[in-house]
Structure 1
């Protein structure tokens, strides 16, 4: 069933507000036409319980506002749907059933929004289902023929509405219309507070599908507003009491409706309990209402700047607010647009157009129009104005004031900035806007450069010189030297002497002109040939260019002139000079000078002068620098087409500059009185090679048997690369052809490319000081052609520490019986212990109870177990005397090895026996006196420790490898320790 359309209100309230106000109209009977239309029967909007525009019913509906929002041109989803008649409208889609919706966080309609503290707050969260707003629409309409205030003007109406997520019981809906541009800002606050005269429309929806209450409040007292007819709630003043538009008691100035049954949803709508998009609004989920603004404000409505749609938990004006939608809604708005050229230049006239559009909803009154370039444009009297159209004292909604004016660009930097500001008034409210325009200023300029060939493939500015009958080639370069923002230059190049456009490509009938286009920074090149020039003398050739930027009448120009001298044909002579490329002080530089008769006048030539800037007169062949010459002396005649050669040598001086340049000049004459001359120069690079070497012992004194380390620093002190041979036989250095570069600063590393090289090497020291010498030989690279050889040497000595009486403990000899896997060469290929036993002491070695024949026996003594004998005797346990002899043999063997060192400490004499401790122990071990053996063992241990801090000096030069106990064990013959 189609919902009923409520457009039949028939009565008018007899009094709007205030005691003493005259009646606007008389009461009339119910269901009869009214004298003044209600908000629901204006004929411009249907308050009919649905959002669909009804055909044949006066007025639009919410779906038209939605289409204005999504498809204003009606070319897509809204094709065929009529346009709204609104003056200004708004449509908003809010989040529903979403935890990130913007909702109130402590706010009441009876409190100010922002009154020096946070009176209202907001947050992100979820509204309850029945208070969760989905969509909001607002529309301001003018109702033709409706003039409640009898002021001769049509009344303004606000129509507005929303849908909610769920129809759960009664609901409270509110709409604030605010004069301040209130908005939600970060931190949960709002940007502005209330202004007296702000409007609140409060509607209560009942579960029966009716608007049970529809009240209009204003904020604070205002003599333009109706006087309250009910007690105020805080600063709220009740202005209009009304209800459902279908109620007979509803106020004509304002009413609202909701849908008592499900009705079609014209936009994508989400409702509780339906998956996806619902095609219908369930009952009591769609609300729409209206308000006669002109009646409320007695004809003088304010400039509304924002709206808030809200819901509440209860129908009390002091209840907490729930969901909110807040947006701009400008009734007084101004749009200023300024246009002009994008490009101009100093001195040109630019034309500007200013359009001031009232894009709000209300007529506004002009206050001020000012331009930063030409000043006041308010009344059209400014002399710069060329057009002043529709710019009277007032500007109706949608109308445009147009001002056009001209301005001559002064001498200012780019861009030329310009701002126009317009201010209009609506009562005490202000609407203003500004618009700026920048004009890029360009600087056109052109440079013409005319050049002439030099005869060698190049071109220069001249003057040029040629012989009669020859020709020259000219080059004309046209460069666009304008600023980069300058339009392309259209140029005409003119040369009245040359045919620069022989094919007349520009069709002007003149081969001496050509049209070209040149972009900023680019250069166009034109070449032309003079043809044969037969008349001697100077020929002055001028080219000119005239250009205009595309789209502009400005002209820039330039000219350039080249002179060509045409000489009579005459004698010619040429001279060339060559020589060595490199030299150094004391070296000889070899030069070769060749003189040729070019035969220009078909005549032999007399050599009048041959002068060299370094070597003087070379004409008579007596100059001592000449090594050979076949040039004529007397008579000094050089025949046509012939040539002669002079060879010279000069020794380079220490004071010569680098490079060393000298010039030879030849002058000649012929039988006709013509003269000819020529010159040529030669440049030789003067180098100053040098190299030094130093050698330093890095640490001394050096312990015998350790490495004596040296540092060698080699430095190229000259200005030319050197190939260097480096030799130090003792350190094993023999590096050949090391390239040393040159550098103002160098790093002593292993790379000689910067002219410096550092070598560190060592040799094992014996007992005598270690002295070595490094020799270097440097030669210059072959490219220089110089055979010079530089030599230097450096030496140094590392002192060797001179020791005292050395010994090593049992642990040293026991752990140095092998060189492990280091593979040291002989004599320590089996370790230092084996070397001393074999080469210093010599086998056999008598221990009294054992005779050792090789190193394996020595290691067997050191590593045999105290508890058990070797496997050769089935690992039998040792007797007490056997353990004593083995244990004492360790100290005895260490003492024998210490005694065998080149600087080994002298073995002490045993005071009891009168023998050396070694001999005394050998005798004791041949018997079984354990007490005597243990006594001598202690004395041997003291001897073995006596010189442990003295460096070992080895007469064989043998090195001492690191300890390797495991290697000793592997080489041991354990039967040597069996009893």
Structure 2
């Protein structure tokens, strides 16, 4: 009987261990079952295709890598916030009075004023609030239970893990930056901006995780401000329910970063290169679509904080640009035509609100000609806005030779974000289009000449082109054809071929002869090319 009871106890333990392993495996290989990204408290891709991890998005130097195929990646950014071996100063630190409820630049004038955020250089930043690196990535998966959702992932590395820690992560719709010379932040918080605040222990577990939003009426005097009530509260990813819209994770053991990092040296630490001790890596994820609907974000800020309270003092920060929405503009086609021939430039505009690129209908591209416009420009179609296919046409014409460059720009509003795009060849934008109007002229000489009957007469044909008004250059290697019209009894004919090929001077000759007296008219033509 004792032996049987012991056996049952052992079986019970084995069953519990197996169950715990299955739960841990499921949590570490999915983000709310999205199958896009690993939130498992480390940096390293566990292998296979998807889900992926940070070291699959950034190189050993922190440079952005192409997203894994099929991941639905939109944009990513890596921000290095330290100098290897340096003890200070930290040139990107919050002014001591900064709090998350403050506006960045209240009146948008780019001048630091009372109540605005300020940025300073900190000579001796507190070790546990000192940011090393911060990174973020945006995805829009095409399959799985989060298909079509905007998913944001974010992480920050700290220098030291002494005591409990508090971090924040802002997602701004506007581009936000800091001017070290003036100590002023540039940009502004916009209704709909998101703040993630988390507190965690040095033992490697999340204590609190709250998501706040900048909303109308919560600032001073009824201005926009930070709503003190979280829009959602999350938990550690290891215990987050399936389908959760937010969770976070800190490393529960040493993680070695593949890029430069710098852990505080100490007797109770792993002092190997680029090692991050327990709780020095914080990472999390947000399902923006489930929380607030698709929103366009243009920048992010990782920050350390004095406490988990909204009134906490902000400490170190790292700013990065990451666009969850995008747009593009193209113009075509480039061509060359004879003067006096109408030509159509087609402008095409697309937008990506974070759920894939689609034609942008109803936007108004502006087409300009930086080097001078042709004689006729009809842009009424674009003035009326792009059609359902995102297209509009500009028709040009010129009676004089010349080369004309068409440059197109457009402002596209996606949510509260306005994106400006031009045909500058960057990203998905095309370069400018060029229309060349060409002219040609052909001459025959001598224009008149008297010959004795039965005598050969040589005629020189000259062919020239112009692509710049008033400037003519020879056309080499072109075939010209001559024809004869006889009158007053002349019976002239060509001696040899009535065609010739122009040389480098644009010239060639044909010969005629008439056995009878009279007048002969010779005309030269070129078919074009």
- State which of 501, 509, 512 in structure 2 corresponds to 1:515: 501
1:409 aligns with 2:397: yes
1:110: how far off? 2.3
1:96 aligns with 2:82: yes
1:216: how far off? 1.4
- After TM superposition, the structure 1 = structure 2 runs for residues 236-251 of structure 1, keeping only pairs within 5 Å, are 236-246=228-238
Distance 1:51 1:160 in 2: 11
Distance 1:462 1:249 in 2: 98
1:330 aligns with 2:323: yes
- State which of 506, 509, 528 in structure 2 corresponds to 1:524: 506
Query: 1:967 corresponds to which residue?
Result: none
Query: 2:371 corresponds to which residue?
Result: none
SS in 1 for 2:438: coil
Query: 2:380 corresponds to which residue?
Result: 375
1:109 aligns with 2:100: yes
Query: 1:492 corresponds to which residue?
Result: 479
For the 8 Å contact 2:169–2:197, the answer to whether it is kept is yes
Unaligned runs of 5+ in 2: 1-19, 219-223, 368-377, 424-430, 485-493
Query: 1:140 corresponds to which residue?
Result: 138
Query: 1:309 corresponds to which residue?
Result: 302
SS in 2 for 1:92: strand
Query: 2:12 corresponds to which residue?
Result: none
Query: 1:65 corresponds to which residue?
Result: 57
For the 8 Å contact 1:200–1:217, the answer to whether it is kept is yes
Distance 2:508 2:48 in 1: 79
Distance 2:130 2:495 in 1: 84
Distance 1:268 1:257 in 2: 21
Distance 1:53 1:509 in 2: 82
- After TM superposition, the structure 1 = structure 2 runs for residues 414-433 of structure 1, keeping only pairs within 5 Å, are 414-416=402-404, 418=406, 426=414, 433=421
1:120 aligns with 2:117: yes
Distance 2:351 2:77 in 1: 21
Query: 2:441 corresponds to which residue?
Result: 446
Change (3 A) 1:431 1:412: farther
For the 8 Å contact 1:367–1:424, the answer to whether it is kept is no
For the 8 Å contact 2:213–2:231, the answer to whether it is kept is yes
For the 8 Å contact 2:30–2:36, the answer to whether it is kept is no
1:45: how far off? 2.0
- After TM superposition, the structure 1 = structure 2 runs for residues 661-740 of structure 1, keeping only pairs within 5 Å, are none
Deviations 1:119-141 (A, max 9, x none): 11224566544333333222233
Change (3 A) 1:425 1:541: closer
SS in 1 for 2:189: coil
Distance 1:287 1:473 in 2: 93
Distance 2:439 2:26 in 1: 79
Deviations 1:729-756 (A, max 9, x none): xxxxxxxxxxxxxxxxxxxxxxxxxxxx
Change (3 A) 1:277 1:268: farther
- State which of 171, 179, 182 in structure 1 corresponds to 2:165: 171
For the 8 Å contact 1:102–1:323, the answer to whether it is kept is yes
Deviations 1:373-406 (A, max 9, x none): 44346999x9xxxxxxxx75xxxxxxxx464869
Deviations 1:430-464 (A, max 9, x none): 5564548443333312242524xxxxxxxxx7757
Deviations 1:439-492 (A, max 9, x none): 3333312242524xxxxxxxxx7757x8x7997885625151523499956643
1:281 aligns with 2:264: no
Change (3 A) 1:428 1:280: closer
For the 8 Å contact 1:160–1:288, the answer to whether it is kept is yes
Change (3 A) 1:53 1:248: closer
For the 8 Å contact 1:333–1:360, the answer to whether it is kept is yes
Query: Based on CA coordinates, which of the two structures has the bigger radius of gyration?
Result: 1
Distance 2:422 2:304 in 1: 38
Change (3 A) 1:344 1:323: farther
Query: 2:128 corresponds to which residue?
Result: 130
Query: 1:735 corresponds to which residue?
Result: none
1:91: how far off? 2.2
Distance 1:306 1:476 in 2: 69
1:338: how far off? 1.4
- State which of 516, 521, 524 in structure 2 corresponds to 1:544: 524
For the 8 Å contact 1:181–1:192, the answer to whether it is kept is yes
Distance 2:345 2:246 in 1: 48
Distance 1:49 1:338 in 2: 46
1:318 aligns with 2:311: yes
- State which of 212, 215, 226 in structure 1 corresponds to 2:210: 215
Distance 2:456 2:439 in 1: 32
SS in 2 for 1:368: coil
Query: 2:341 corresponds to which residue?
Result: 348
Change (3 A) 1:429 1:486: farther
Bigger CA drift: 105-114 or 352-361?
A: 352-361
Deviations 1:930-952 (A, max 9, x none): xxxxxxxxxxxxxxxxxxxxxxx
Unaligned runs of 5+ in 1: 10-30, 75-81, 148-152, 224-231, 383-390, 393-400, 452-460, 498-507, 551-979
Distance 2:191 2:465 in 1: 65
Q: How many aligned positions are there?
A: 456
SS in 1 for 2:236: coil
1:61: how far off? 1.7
1:318: how far off? 3.3
Distance 1:157 1:120 in 2: 28
For the 8 Å contact 2:203–2:252, the answer to whether it is kept is yes
Superposition RMSD in Å: 4.9
Distance 1:136 1:7 in 2: 31
SS in 1 for 2:297: coil
Change (3 A) 1:473 1:171: farther
